[in-house]
Amino acid sequence: MKNKMKWIGIGIFAICASILVSSTFAEAALEEPAIHEGDYWNHDVAGGYGEWTYQGTSHDEVVGETTITIEGESYYVWESTMHMEYAGEDFTTLYEGTWYVRESDYAAVKSIAYTNTTYPGGTSSSFSETIYQPIQPDMEYPTDVGDTWEIHRNNTVTDDTGIHIVPEDIYYECTGTEDVTTDVGTFSCYMIKSRNNSTDTSNYTVSYYSNEVGGSFVKMVMYTNSVPTTTLMLTSYEYTRENGDGSVPGFEMVIFMSAIAAVLLVLWAKKYKR
């Protein structure tokens, strides 16, 4: 009986160690994604304010790697595109965007955007190119609940009216975690709240990011005067998740703790065999 109990104890230890490793360390923070060419994310778009409503779809895709030169300096970047189309009762808007983000840290280097809206009586269109100055990542990894950070830039924007220096100040906070259920499953998400004014608390965006989904969000909700006005929800995606060496980002700790659990289990077993 004594021998049986000690092996039951060893078994319980092994189970508890496995649970500890998988639940506590596997998703202990929002990790930096490891994007690859061909990764994509599709979302449904729905929104409105008062009686004005609209809905549509968006498609984000990593096109590939390239090099761009800005003011004589070259940057190795990922090129990503976004195609969004949404419509209301009397209008249709088409948005096409291209982003160039630095490979080393996913910091925005440059973006290009085209917008075309069709409505009764005509159309309107716009173009803008943004050079981000200084170049700095919008997300800080690893990110955990309670983390805060800020972005302050003076971007050079070229649009239909000329060239402008446009200040950009964004304040971020990881406000919590939440399970989000979509058409493609339920994801454990970190909620990232962002706003463009340090004192305005009524206009902001909450984005829900998951380590499983990677470089894009599972859900995004935009608030105007504290009222949700636009929601994007994941409908399908392709995300490789693995680094170039085949490992999963952020899971080195899982491997490390698994090794410790295995060593302790062996030592415990040897102790009882003496």
The fold of 27-242 is YmcC-like fold (2.40.360)
Instruction: Give residue 154's pLDDT.
Output: 97
Instruction: Give residue 215's pLDDT.
Output: 82
Question: Which residue matches tokens 């100055």?
Answer: 133
Q: What share of the chain is helix, strand, coil (3-state, %, to 5)?
A: 15, 55, 30
Higher pLDDT, 198 or 188: 188
Domain boundaries, the chain: 1-26+251-274, 27-242
pLDDT in tens, 120-169: 999 999 999 999 999 999 999 999 999 999 999 999 999 999 999 999 99
Q: Comparing C-alpha atoms, which of 176, 145, 138, 175 is closest to residue 33?
A: 138
Q: What is the enclosing helix (H) or strand (E) of 213?
A: none
Q: Comparing C-alpha atoms, which of 66, 79, 71 is closest to residue 112?
A: 79
pLDDT-based confidence at residue 244 (cuts at 50, 70, 90):
low
pLDDT in tens, 44-85: 999 997 788 999 999 999 999 999 999 999 999 999 999 999
